[in-house]
């Protein structure tokens, strides 16, 4: 199955993005998602540009999408392409870690997964694991989706922290992962669902980029505090954020539009000031505090409902 190829970024655009992401945005690890949207030859060049543009202290983790989202769940790559990409990534980008990205749970990843497990026996990451999904070998770490846990509740104290709302759900998920064997990083959220559709911010029954709203201010700090309080130290792998989701929602004409979408601001080297800027900046502040060795401060309310 062939699709129109995306335009590869220029080296200057990669430099601009790397400067923002690893500077004011506070990232010390970047997952670079590739789903054959450009030819492999172009992808190898772009991966290499990212390595050149980032300091060695910044870890780059190539993240491959192995299955399409069509009815047949078609393989994205041939076996030979998986071997080629894994060899390149090991030698040029990251010798010890690679991720498999999938937003659906428990999908058969095909023969490519075994090939990646052989190339990265101790460093395969399940990126986008769902709350109900078991994390099993060959994955040695995971980044978990947290959307409904962070979104459920229009207001922080009056809704999100109350029984039956998002804080309770998030705490339950973290406790469940404590009982497992795999370290988990937790996703901080920029894009929430449409709060206008329900009285107290319950799930509206749809995920619509035209209607999705920014996560309420302060929610990510409360959530980060809750995660730290609940997670077993050996099972807490850190915090993350899905910038692809931010871009897909910000590019909606109802919000920022294509010319001012998040990825476009990265390409141009301009700090994002669009529709979702408030929760995004909150996340970057959290990342900067972590880089300084400080867990983000909150008002102490994350562990209780009032």
Q: Which residue has the tokens 């060899």?
A: 87
- Tell me what the mean pLDDT of segment 77-94 comes to: 98
Instruction: Name the domain boundary from 145, 173, 204.
Output: 145
Is 302 part of any domain? no
Q: Which residue did the predictor score with more confidence, 48 or 4?
A: 48
Helix (H, G, I), strand (E, B) or coil at 93: helix
Average pLDDT, the chain: 94
- The answer to the question of residue 300 being in a domain is no
Is the domain of 203 the same as that of 63? no
Question: What local confidence, expressed as pLDDT, does residue 304 receive?
Answer: 39
Of 111, 145, 179, which residue constitutes the final position of a domain? 145
Please report whether residue 303 resides in a domain.
Answer: no
Residues 133 and 170 grouped into a single domain: no
Banded pLDDT at 305 (limits 50, 70, 90): very low
Residue 273 in domain: yes
- Of 145, 163, 191, the position where a domain reaches its end is 145
CA-derived radius of gyration, the chain: 19
pLDDT exceeds 60 at position 231: yes
Give how far Cα 119 sits from Cα of 18, 40, 91, 138, 191, Å: 27, 18, 11, 11, 35
CB 259 within 8 A of CB 207: no
The mean pLDDT value for 27-38 works out to 97
Give per-residue pLDDT as tens, 96-130. Answer: 999 999 999 999 999 999 999 999 999 999 999 99
Q: Do 251 and 137 lie in a common domain?
A: no
Same domain, 110 and 196: no
Which residues are registered as beta bridge partners of 32?
Answer: 62
- Asked if 236 and 266 sit in the same domain, the reply is yes
Interval 47-61 mean pLDDT: 98
Average pLDDT of the residues in 24-41:
97
Residue 255: the pLDDT is 98
- Residue 85's nearest CA partner among 150, 16, 35, 50 is 35
Nearest residue to 155 via CA among 185, 198, 106 = 198
Same domain, 87 and 199: no
Q: Is residue 286 part of a domain?
A: yes
One domain for residues 100 and 3 = yes
According to the model, what pLDDT value does residue 298 have? Answer: 60
A 10 A CB-CB count for 217 gives 12
Q: Indicate if 18 and 51 belong to the same structural domain.
A: yes
> What is the percent of the chain where pLDDT is above 70?
95
Q: What is the pLDDT of residue 293?
A: 87
Both 235 and 158 in a single domain?
Answer: yes
Asked if residue 87 has pLDDT above 70, the reply is yes
Count of structural domains within the chain:
2
Say if CB 148 and CB 166 are below 8 A apart: yes
Residue 74 lies inside a defined structural domain of this protein: yes
CATH code, domain carrying 113: 3.20.20.70
At 90 the three-state DSSP class reads helix
Q: Is the pLDDT of residue 1 over 60?
A: no
Residues 175 and 275 in one domain: yes
Residue 53, in any domain of the structure = yes
Q: pLDDT tens digits, residue range 269-285?
A: 999 999 999 999 999 99
pLDDT (0 to 100) of residue 3 = 43
- Asked if the structure places residue 177 within a domain, the reply is yes
Q: Are 54 and 22 in contact (CB under 8 A)?
A: yes
Return the structure tokens found at 306: 């009032």
| Full residue range of the structural domain in which residue 101 is found | 1-145
Q: Are residues 242 and 221 in the same domain?
A: yes
274 and 187 both lie in a single domain: yes
């Amino acid at each position: 199955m062939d699709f129109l190829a995306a335009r590869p970024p220029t080296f200057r655009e990669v430099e601009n993005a790397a400067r923002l992401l690893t500077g004011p945005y506070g990232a010390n690890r970047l997952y670079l998602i590739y789903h054959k949207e450009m030819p492999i030859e172009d992808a190898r060049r772009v991966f290499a540009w990212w390595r050149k543009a980032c300091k060695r202290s910044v870890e780059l983790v190539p993240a491959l999408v192995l299955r399409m989202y069509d009815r047949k769940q078609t393989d994205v790559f041939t076996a030979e392409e998986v071997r080629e990409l894994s060899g390149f990534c090991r030698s040029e980008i990251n010798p010890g870690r690679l991720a498999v990205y999938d937003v659906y749970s428990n999908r058969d990843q095909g023969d490519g997964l075994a090939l990646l497990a052989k190339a990265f026996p101790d460093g395969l990451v399940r990126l986008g694991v769902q709350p109900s999904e078991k994390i099993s070998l060959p994955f040695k770490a995971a980044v978990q989706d947290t959307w409904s846990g962070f979104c459920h509740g229009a207001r922080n104290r009056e809704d999100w922290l109350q029984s039956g709302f998002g804080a309770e759900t998030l705490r339950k998920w973290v406790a469940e992962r404590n009982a497992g064997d795999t370290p988990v990083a937790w996703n901080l959220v920029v894009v929430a669902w449409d709060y206008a559709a329900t009285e107290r911010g319950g799930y509206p029954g749809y995920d619509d980029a035209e209607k999705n709203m920014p996560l309420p201010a302060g929610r990510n700090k409360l959530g980060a505090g809750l995660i730290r309080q609940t997670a077993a130290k050996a099972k807490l792998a850190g915090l993350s954020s899905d910038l692809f989701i931010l871009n897909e929602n910000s590019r909606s004409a109802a919000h920022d539009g294509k010319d001012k979408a998040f990825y476009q601001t990265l390409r141009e080297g301009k700090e994002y000031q669009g529709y979702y800027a408030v929760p995004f900046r909150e996340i970057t502040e959290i990342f900067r505090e972590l880089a300084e060795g400080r867990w983000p401060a909150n008002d102490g309310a994350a562990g209780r409902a009032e």
